[in-house]
Amino acid sequence: MDRVADKVVLVTGAGSGIGRATAKLLAAEGATVIVTDVNRPGGLETVQQIGGRARFEEQDTSKEADWKRIIDDILAREGRLDGLVNNAGIAGPFPSTFEGESLEQWRRILSINVEGVFLGCKYGVPALRSSGGGSIVNLSSLAAFLGTPDLSAYGASKGAVRQFTKTVAIDCARKGYKVRCNSVHPGIIITPMGESILPSEKARERTRQRVPVGEFGTPEDIAYGVLYLISDESRFMTGAELVIDGGMNAI
């Protein structure tokens, strides 16, 4: 119950789905968790479910001023930051092909999914360094490896997160920062976002048949991977891709 004992960890988009499950697991394993989200009721509900060792702050991860405020606040209140989970993300409307996608929608998805992760790393790394080092986990997707004709901007955004993670990892390692950075690649996970791309029972069944293990994942399946990457158990791991997808990327 103490795999991340005494660590202070920020989890973005923790008012729902994978972020909420991750925040709960990190807290159960001894971390103090800063839960952030644009969705205040969702974030407060996560903190209530944790029942201690957590607090909520409203944050839009695509806004630079929000990152400055949140990181300064954590250093002032908790005195340190040991882990950052860049989880907040959106998929956008489904389906959205590249021919049908508006530039406005494309930019919206990239501003949250890519610029949000960039800003998290930009402001998170100095805070982790000043705490003696730490770990960043960026939520990418199985979509980073495959063509995604029905989610064109989303696929591009997750490919960018996969690549940028390695850039941060290598830059930090070479500079001796003691900050690790890895990406996690979920397959299809049953969350509000996962359900939005499975609009009907028929679509759900057809997609389920494409998963080698025969079922969709749960938010907890991903949370256990994030827990490992935030913990010191993964101390020799940086710039890596942790795929948690029921085998989909292996076929």
Ligand X SMILES: NC(=O)c1ccc[n+]([C@@H]2O[C@H](COP(=O)([O-])OP(=O)(O)OC[C@H]3O[C@@H](n4cnc5c(N)ncnc54)[C@H](O)[C@@H]3O)[C@@H](O)[C@H]2O)c1
Q: Which residues are catalytic?
A: 154
Q: Tell the smallest beta-carbon distance from residue 139 to ligand X (Å).
A: 4
Contact 13, 37 (CB under 8 A): yes
Alpha helices (H) in the chain, listed in sequence order? 17-28, 40-50, 64-77, 103-110, 116-130, 152-174, 192-196, 201-208, 219-230
Give CA–CA dist 58/41, Å, rounded: 10
Q: Which is nearer to ligand X, 25 or 173 (CB)?
A: 25
Q: Tell the smallest beta-carbon distance from residue 153 to ligand X (Å).
A: 12
List interacting residues with ligand X (CB under 6 A): 12-13, 15-19, 37-39, 42, 59-62, 87-90, 112, 116, 139, 141, 186, 188-189, 191-194
| Cα-based distances in Å from 108 to 139, 200, 203 | 17, 26, 26
Cα 236 to its chain centre, rounded Å, is: 20
Q: Which is nearer to ligand X, 134 or 194 (CB)?
A: 194
Cα angle for residues 210, 215, 216 (degrees, 5° grid): 90
Give CA–CA dist 74/149, Å, rounded: 40
Q: Which is nearer to ligand X, 141 or 238 (CB)?
A: 141
Rounded to 10°, the helix 219-230/17-28 angle is 50
Tell the residue number behind the tokens 């029921």, with chain if given. Answer: 246
Q: Which amino acid is at 183?
A: S
Q: Which is nearer to ligand X, 31 or 216 (CB)?
A: 216
Nearest to 87 by CA among 201, 244, 226, 233: 226
Minimal CB distance residue for ligand X: 17
Q: Which is nearer to ligand X, 135 or 140 (CB)?
A: 140
Q: What is the DSSP letter of 197?
A: T
